[in-house]
A and B are shown apart, each in its own frame.
Chain A
Amino acid sequence: MTIHQARIAGLPLMNLIRFKGTPIFQQLQLEERLLRTSSDNWCIINDGTNAPAIVMGMSGRFTGGGTVIVDHGTVFITFICNKDAVPDVQPYPRSIMSWSSLLYSEVFRGIDNFQLRENDYVFGNCKFGGNAQSITKKRWIHHTSFLWDYEDMNMAYLKLPEQAPEYRLARGHMEFVCRMKDYLPNFVFIENTVKAIETHFSVNPVNLESIVAPCDKEFVHSTRLLAKEELEEAYACPAKSQSHQLSS
């Protein structure tokens, strides 16, 4: 379906931002701002962050989720929608997750055993995508980190989480996760995703530079970099910190 035909069909508008190598911290702050201050629907595709980072879904952060290590091999795709934008999707975690799994079923059509298991995207029983959401009164955000590729060494930093999905079956990280690049080319994944989005929305490509405005400095983000003292405090109280070290 072409954009022209989609608009005629009355599909909701979706602003699409695509970038590569944008720092995950910058992306998350952008997402938070768009969720809280915009009334439009947005899709953000970031093909790899330029600097490795540890993203902790600590309580008080604006989205849920656990701890992930991300780098240039991680592809991030985020949907920010008004609660009435998608028919039959209620602003609750399971409804949003169900919808997203249907969209990605279109993306991975023909690839063996793609499915949503609990809150993860898997091929068979190997996880390649983790999700997090934030839901406000009128909008929701669904953020996915896709393991296009990863460094074994970085994965070794992650502890086994206290709370893990049942299908994990106590497997270590190397046995639990898999690389997307072993299943399909990057350009196929990205283009299939854009096509899938176009079947649900009228897509409007947007440049990142066009949406960064001086007044944005007034918005107070909850997403932030942790100070050394906070990390030391968390390390000193493992029982408390591990309660939020959820598997992503």
Chain B
Amino acid sequence: MALRMWASSTASALKISCASKAHLSPAFSLSRCFSTVLDGLKYASSHEWVKHEGAVATIGITDHAQDHLGEVVFVELPEPGGSVSKAGSFGAVESVKATSDVNSPISGEVIEVNSKLSESPGLINSSPYEEGWMIKVKPSSPSELESLMGPKEYTKFCEEEDAH
């Protein structure tokens, strides 16, 4: 808690966003890189997260990614019924002056897309792990999840990336 408070106050002083998502993280959340990383999710090196619940996997981009991209003004998503491939692009996030591909951490069938993002793309900035989710997938190869990073590993990955 002390670490989170220090990180939050420092982030505030530096005018860096530092969202708290404690209610989504029953165990803990790590804020050392000034971005929130949640327990219970898996992470890709391209900064997408996956929440696997039974036969459904929910996918979005991380707090670290939305912070680096800036204000999101448009989100391009696939149609339900389509397929995604691990590490393949399934859509794009457009911020002011830049469009960035979003890549799927796993393979599978798209069963639902977040329709709220068409009218409120900023949900990705304000709520990257909850209301800003992008697609729901029926995984075709659940074992792919095992190759993704856990929270600690992803936090370290972000720190090393930002240190460059």
Interface residues of A (CB under 8 A from B): 59-65, 87-88, 90-97, 119, 131-137, 163, 243-244, 246
Contact = CB atoms under 8 A, between A and B. Distances in A.
Contacts of A87: 164
A119 B73 CA distance: 15
A133 B94 CA distance: 10
Interface of B: 46, 68-70, 73-74, 76, 87, 89, 94-101, 103, 161-162, 164
Contacts of A60: 74, 76
Query: Chain A binding site: helix, strand, loop or mixed by DSSP?
Result: loop
B37 to A, nearest CB: 17
A133 B46 contact: no
Nearest to A139: B101
A97 B87 CA distance: 26
Centre residue among A60, A88, A92 by max chain B CB count within 10 A? A92
Given A90-B161, A136-B101, A163-B96, A59 B76 contact: yes
Contacts of A65: 97
A135 B164 contact: no
Given A64-B95, A64-B98, A137-B46, 10 more contacts: A59-B74, A60-B76, A63-B99, A64-B97, A93-B68, A93-B70, A94-B68, A94-B70, A119-B96, A163-B73
Contacts of B98: 63-64, 93, 96, 132-135
A97 B96 CA distance: 12
B161 to A, nearest CB: 7
Contacts of B89: 136-137
A64 B70 contact: no
A136 to B, nearest CB: 5
A59 B94 contact: yes
Contact of A135 (B76, B96, B99, B162): B99
A90 to B, nearest CB: 7
Contacts of B68: 90, 92-95
Contact of B99 (A64, A91, A92): A64
A135 B97 contact: no
21 contacts: A59-B94, A60-B74, A63-B98, A63-B99, A64-B95, A65-B97, A92-B68, A93-B68, A93-B69, A93-B70, A93-B97, A95-B68, A131-B97, A132-B97, A132-B98, A133-B98, A133-B99, A134-B100, A137-B87, A243-B73, A244-B73
A137 B101 contact: yes
A60 to B, nearest CB: 6
A8 B69 CA distance: 36
B69 A62 contact: no
Nearest to B76: A60
Contacts of A96: 98
A53 to B, nearest CB: 19
By CB atoms of chain A within 10 A, which of B69, B95, B101, B164 has the most?
A: B101
Nearest to A62: B99
